């Protein structure tokens, strides 16, 4: 007959091994999961000459809000943007638009990335107003409009500041 102490040692080692294997990769909470970058497609990105307007950071999740947002973008910009907004399939997509306030000269706003956070997302953008030495005749308002897979939750915007150089052919 084998003593109980001799049998207990291998059983204890097996249970200890199983416990350690289970603890090696504990389940992660939603906050601990790595962020997921969302692919997007640019619908329009440009500076609209002579257009005045303020900052825009908006999300459109349906056709009605998209048309209203596009009309807001066109306001005071003449016929630079087409009357009809670019097509977005709102059953599976969301549209996001950012615009800087009117700038005195050449400038640009760029959506650099969209990262999912839970049901929502964070939109990272670069705002690049003109360099201090730029002298221009016409002001402009930079815009960037994108479409991406549908986002149901809150969307936050995180902006970084850059600078748009004047270049040799600009006065």
Which tens digit of pLDDT belongs to each residue from 55-76? Answer: 999 999 999 999 999 999 998 8
Q: Tell me, what's the pLDDT at 135?
A: 85
CB 121 within 8 A of CB 127: no
Q: Tell me, what's the pLDDT at 32?
A: 54
Percent of residues, the chain, with pLDDT higher than 70: 77
Q: How far does CA 30 lie from the centroid of its chain?
A: 19
Query: Taking the CB of residue 151, how many other CB atoms lie within 10 A of it?
Result: 20
Query: In terms of Cα–Cα distance, which of 53, 55, 164, 159 is closest to 113?
Result: 159
Query: How would you classify residue 25: left for phi > 0, otherwise alpha for psi between -120 and 50, otherwise beta?
Result: beta
Query: In terms of Cα–Cα distance, which of 102, 153, 125 is closest to 42?
Result: 125
Q: Tell me, what's the pLDDT at 9?
A: 53
Q: pTM to 2 decimals?
A: 0.77
Q: Tell me, what's the pLDDT at 25?
A: 46
Average pLDDT, whole number, for the chain? 84
Q: Tell me, what's the pLDDT at 171?
A: 39
Token duo for residue 119 = 């049901």
DSSP element (H, E) containing 132: none
Torsion sign, CA atoms 61, 63, 65, 67: positive
Q: Tell me, what's the pLDDT at 165?
A: 86
d(CA 147, CA 41): 5
What's the pLDDT tens digit per position in 69-121?
Answer: 999 999 888 789 999 999 999 999 999 999 999 898 888 999 999 999 999 99
């Amino acid at each position: 007959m084998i003593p109980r102490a001799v049998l207990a040692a291998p059983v204890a080692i097996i249970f200890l091994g199983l416990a350690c294997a289970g603890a090696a990769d504990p389940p992660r909470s939603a906050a601990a999961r790595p962020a997921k970058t969302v692919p997007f497609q640019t619908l329009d990105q440009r500076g609209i000459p002579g257009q005045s307007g303020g900052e825009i950071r908006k999300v459109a999740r349906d056709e009605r809000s998209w048309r209203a947002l596009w009309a807001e973008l066109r306001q005071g910009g003449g016929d630079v943007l087409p009357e009809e907004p670019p097509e977005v399939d709102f059953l599976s997509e969301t549209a996001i638009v950012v615009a800087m306030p009117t700038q005195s000269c050449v400038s640009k706003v760029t959506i650099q990335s969209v990262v999912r956070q839970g049901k929502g997302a964070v939109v990272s953008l670069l705002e690049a107003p003109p360099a201090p030495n730029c002298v221009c005749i016409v002001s402009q308002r930079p815009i960037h409009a994108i479409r991406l897979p549908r986002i149901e939750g809150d969307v936050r915007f995180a902006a970084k500041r850059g600078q748009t150089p004047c270049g040799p052919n600009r006065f």
